[in-house]
Structure 1
């Protein structure tokens, strides 16, 4: 009987320590659990200690944060557009919806023949949705000065691949890659693979844009068919955030 009373006492004492509802002063322990990722949290005193293991986000979730992942080999263009729409312009769309839209506004025969979408297709879709679009042929410094996310094409071996340029800091270029996630390259490496120094910017509807590249040029900047093997290629300087 005495053992039963002792068990009940310590059970109640444990709830007293860890329950913010019973003891509001301990609520900060719960908040610390949500924010701390490296240091374990210890609750208790001479009567005993309770260890709470903090929650840690999966690495893949961090790498793909604010990115619509491409689901098909040829869909890097549609995934970058979906990412811009969803996380920059606030238009909640899926990659599948963007693909359908690109087929509706683009030349279906040309899309099938080249096995990918062009910047012109992307421009047409954005304009059809009421956005202003500008194409630029600039150097890296000028691209960074736009202070806007821009869709650019980079060379991966013999293939071209669409990514989103986010900015430059301390000599490093930050990109959103629909297949590899948030990535970073040195400025020098980016300039080597950036195709023809052309970038496409889709502006919010309340901003003005000045278009500087012809439709013919945008049509030429297309994404080639991406084989699965291309994802296994490693380019010097092309790294994910987890490599640092």
Structure 2
């Protein structure tokens, strides 16, 4: 399928021929990926498809064996997580890496506290409230310990922390995993608001409904390689076929039965 963004403005992030080997294991092979400002690109695939490896390459944890990465039109080398963050690529991993005994403000500014000699608690609290209000986040108080927040609220804090340094691209690794229906809706709404702020978002998820709800493009990985670029209008059957490599599966059979019923 052709890329719907082909011929659009210059992408913020551009990968061409990116490969990664761990000894004899080829984790990624000739990966191509574009991320534009103000769009959500979903990265989907089965377990072992290479999603986590690709995220770690972009986060500076792993260095690619081959290929080129361009950021804002310039070739870059992401040789450390600090370098990726400095360029403007932020990552929210699945474990969130929050300190549960600290409040929301302390978690947002962890490692980036304000004040050269003493913590400027007032300015940090004001900035925390401002950012959370811009995101329409449903946090009862910025002085609430993270341990007392729900799963959706914790995800909100983790995403807000990644926005604090105003990155160009944000990667979200399974942000709705293990969340209830209401909390999932809250996080998906937050992802849309992040996109509306002009950030490029890379969303990694196994949940096809979540992906189709917010993604502008869906990039499928299979066995460490690109296996198609789709839109939210793509049927579940087509996505499952691209992810698994099997055109005959439970989804396609159910769809065929329903079509037969309608025709009768």
Regarding TM over 0.5, the answer is no
Structure 1 length as normaliser, TM-score? 0.27
Which of structures 1 and 2 has the bigger CA Rg? Answer: 1
Greater per-residue helix proportion: 1
TM-score (norm 2): 0.25
Q: Quick one: higher RCO (CA 8 Å, sep 6+), 1 or 2?
A: 2
